[in-house]
Amino acid sequence: MNLFQKHKIFFLTVILLLPSLLYSQNSKVLNDSIIEKEIKNSGKYLSTNPDSALIIAKKAYSDALILKSKKVESHALYQLGIIYKTLRKFDKAIYFHVESLKIKRKLNDKIEIARSLNALGNTFYEMGNYSKSLTFFKHSFRLKHLIKDEKGAAITLFNIGNVYLDQSQFDTALINFNKALSVFDNLNFEQGKASCFNSIGIIYESLEDYEKALSYYQKSLDIETKDDNYVGMINAYNNIGNIYSIGGMQQNSLNFYKNALNYSEQINDTENIANALKNIGLIYTFRNEFINANNHFIRAKKLSSQIKSKELEINVFHAIGYSYTFQGKCDSAVYYLKKSLENAIKINYNNVIADDYIMLAHANMCAGNQNEAFDYYQKYNHENDKLINELNKTKLQLTNVKEYSRINLEQNLAQILKLKMKSDREYFILIFVIIMFTAIVVFLFYRKKNLNLKYKNLELQQKFLQAQMNPHFIHNTLASIEGHLYKNKPEETSIYISEFSHLIRNILESSRKNFISLQTELKMLQQYVNLQKLRYGELFTCQFNVDASINQESVCIPPMLVQPIIENCIEHAFSGVNYKGEIIVKVQKNNNVLCIEICDNGTGISQLDETKSKKSDCMQLSHKIIAERLASMSNRKTKYKIAINNYCLPPNNTGTKIKINLPFKLLNQIKKNEQQTINIF
């Protein structure tokens, strides 16, 4: 064999072995550890740039197929499912999670099986399919409990709590959150504790227990700030901002919303940026800074259209419509509120539907669309009845939580009693002390719960009664406008609508407050009287006499308190009389009592009672509502009273006098008390 032939054989051998050598070299580069790092790296981009995360995860999956590692392949498929859920491509997310689950079951990896079951539960939860979501979460919990994965089981309990929370099943949600919180506390898992605190805060906010809600949100914020978890901090800032907004503390609310916006922009979280902009726009609306409000709404609308969160887009449209109603841009308000309502109905977003109906009634009335205003107001009444029923169910749910706690305590006590009694005297004394201590704890627990529930019922009752007042007034005024239209007086109707829109705006501004200044109340009453004079002409007069020693800007009273009484005078007391009606409203200070007297020279309350007419029923119902509202606001230290008597005024020496006694309070004192209440935790 010559030299050439030897070289030829050598080169042929190299060529044949080259693919094998290259594959061997590639296998050394592609190992489980490297692909796992790729998967982990994709997770870093998940919240800020999900498209980049998807590209990295796809490469990891492709590498896993080349390496033929089933374990790593299942991890890559799981990560693809997580990313597609974030992109709200739920069909693809479910597909990849199911494929991942199949491999994990073949490998009999119970930890990873439970993880995939939990991921499927989260995906169906985001889709709003609560039934399937609970099925997967419960399978995951049982498996994690079986393999003694305490932390994983607690995370799944937290997820189950969120499913019940979204369905307004607050009692069951609270039980699951407290169980999860107990485990997280034992394991010192701070992130889990922060998430539980935030969700429990949402429950108490839904129940309108704002003090407790604020305390839990603050606990969540403290942990998230300590851990530099920007996403958690953003949620907490927004939630605390909401509480301050409800309490009328606009500057505090604005500061927290701005913090949420700042951190959202730092991590480029588009959805939270849009949400914060929307919230800031509403605060500027309440402060009548409409240019600032509109600038923030424009940015929020642009960003919400770029992401695929229907709930956020609905809330942005509603906020813009609400703001435009305040600004008097009635046609634009109708446009955005209709868009909000249409989308809310499509996805059964019940939290917004009722608000859209009532705002569409106001916006259409402002725009001169009386018929549509009536239709939307009727729909609001129907939807509002459903919401009130839900609040009544909430009371029962609170009772269920109390019953659950009682049963647990009784079971613990029973277990203690079942312990075998030992002859040792010291051991017997120890058991007796434990039983006595438990009894004391149970007594204090129930006492505190009963006081809290009593306070909650009074608070809800007051809000229900206040909610009855405004619809009653709006319904009667809209009926007046309808009657004016039938008389074919377009010019007078236009004046009527303009006056009414101004009055509605003032009502909207004061309806969010428990107290307003006397000056504001009298201004609304004068607007209402002017409105009625457009209808009745000079058939009656109305005088407002306020004691000169009273500072009308400082003294406060509950909003819309006197208007129903004046309405009864005009609509019922003067009905059928052949002389000019006269109404006198007197406001005086007597020691620490603010006395408001409303006198008229109408037919008198006794005569109406004798007729047993519908007018008498209407007046009695109105007076009953006011009396119940005042009663619900009263306590041991503060008394609100109303008295109704016959009165003699010319020309027929007939009439009615209604006297309301209120505690003499200054508006700045009320605000200080609210400030102390909000910051108590």
Same domain, 415 and 492: yes
**Residues of the domain holding 667:** 513-519+534-681
pLDDT of residue 40: 87
Same domain, 505 and 634: no
pLDDT of residue 307: 75
pLDDT of residue 13: 47
Same domain, 564 and 670: yes
Q: What is the mean pLDDT of residues 588-596?
A: 88
Same domain, 367 and 406: yes
| pLDDT surpasses 60 at 676 | no
pTM above 0.85?
no
Same domain, 333 and 454: yes
Run of H or E including 480:
helix 425-486
- Number of domains the chain contains: 2
Q: Which two tokens stand for residue 49?
A: 């740039």
Q: How confident is the model at residue 619 (pLDDT cuts 50, 70, 90)?
A: low
In a domain, 545, yes or no: yes
pLDDT of residue 184: 92
Same domain, 421 and 545: no
| pLDDT surpasses 80 at 178 | yes
Same domain, 467 and 547: no
Q: What is the mean pLDDT of residues 59-84?
A: 90
Give the CATH number for residue 635: 3.30.565.10
392 or 612, greater pLDDT = 392
C-alpha 405/C-alpha 175 separation (Å) is 9
| pLDDT surpasses 70 at 216 | yes
pLDDT in tens, 528-570: 888 778 777 788 899 999 998 888 888 888 888 888 888 888 8
HSE-CB at 552 with a 13 A cutoff on CA atoms is: 13
pLDDT in tens, 99-121: 999 999 999 999 999 999 999 99
Rg (CA), the chain: 33
Q: Return the residue matching tokens 């008394």.
A: 639
pLDDT of residue 393: 54
Same domain, 567 and 455: no
C-alpha 365/C-alpha 331 separation (Å) is 10
Contact 183, 154 (CB under 8 A): yes
Contact 519, 552 (CB under 8 A): yes
| pLDDT surpasses 60 at 24 | no
Q: How confident is the model at residue 15 (pLDDT cuts 50, 70, 90)?
A: very low
Q: Return the residue matching tokens 């009396």.
A: 627
Q: What is the mean pLDDT of residues 417-435?
A: 58
| pLDDT surpasses 50 at 412 | no
What is the chain's mean pLDDT, rounded? Answer: 78
CB burial of residue 537 (10 Å; 0-12, 13-18, 19+) = exposed
Same domain, 548 and 628: yes
Same domain, 449 and 571: no
